[in-house]
Amino acid sequence: MNVLLHYSPGPAWQRDLASLASHELSVDWCDESDDERFYGLLPTTEVLWHVLRPLSAADIARAPKLRLIQKIGIGVNTIDLEAARSRDIAVCNMPGTNSRAVAEMTILLMLACLRRLPVLDRATREGRWSLGPDIQDTFGELAEKTVGLVGYGAVAQMVAPILKAMGAHVIYTDQQPNPGAMQAFRELPELLREADIVSLHVPLTPATANMISREQLAMMRTGAILINTARGGLVRQDALVESLQTGQLGAAGLDVFAAEPVSASEPLLHLDNVVLAPHVSWLTAGTWDRSLKVAVENCRRLLAGEALRHRVA
């Protein structure tokens, strides 16, 4: 079975992929930015392992043998699901495989914002050992902060006990209260007004697109921090920039953006109160190991005519 990983794997990943011949899989790969190679490989591809680069109806039409689109991760908003359904191409994701990695990055961004890590890193590299007294008042701790989790899925449920162990107060909002949650439930407006740190953990859907707009940002406490490791489209990015520039928000930790890759002209890149990463919260060796097992198992099931795991379309 011909499998295409639409991502550029490192040496360890390449060794793992080469070993899959024993599973009756022939795996090739292609960098997400190399459309020429991608289009050249699609005609013989039977299974596509999809990461982030949007997969359009036109892309799918170039793959006449395609039987399965396997998302490496959980969010399928980058896949044209209707085009897949029209060809009876299965679409599967893999919930939980990257939750721990994203949870850890969420905590990392919170701490980096609280301790002004980009400013400290740059100053140290530039030989500025004394930063002056004004910055001292901007350093914070997680302890005693109220952290509001927007969405209470696998990532948020991992983040919550870590925050509590570090002395933070945790509240959350979701479509409805979770009976098993140990945290207090709030409706979104109440959570925004109460939290010192707001962290987003919901999928991007028509209902959640731009859910954090100017109105919601204005509800947040002056100097609050926004963390987004979910999807950039959840936030009105221009409104976020304004809030950071005026001081309505104290900081933001962002792994995702409205448009990716981020343009060099994006104002967020030039703000000292923003911590940035290029959509890699999910990317760890542990995530890859867990993801590969699910992807290979679904290929085995496809070959055997068995029901696929985590089919979403």
For the annotated catalytic residues, the residue numbers are 231, 260, 279
Q: What interhelical angle do 99-114 and 285-304 show, nearest 10?
A: 150
Neighbouring CB atoms inside 10 A of 83's CB total: 17
Distance CA 231, CA 203 (A): 7
Strand residue runs (E) in the chain:
2-5, 26-29, 47-50, 68-71, 90-92, 146-150, 169-173, 184-185, 197-200, 224-228, 249-254, 274-276
- Copy the structure tokens of residue 124: 């140290």
Round to whole Å and give the CA distance between 129 and 220.
34
Please give the backbone phi and psi of residue 43, each rounded to the nearest 5 degrees, phi first.
-60, -25
Give the span between the Cα atoms of 47 and 39, in whole angstroms. Answer: 14
Number of Cβ atoms within 10 Å of the Cβ of 141: 12
Q: Hey, what are 31's tokens?
A: 């960098």
Closest CA to 110 of 250, 252, 289: 252
259: buried, middle or exposed (CB in 10 Å: 19+, 13-18, 0-12)?
A: exposed
Q: Can you say how many angstroms the Cα of residue 195 is from the centroid of all Cα atoms in its chain?
A: 21
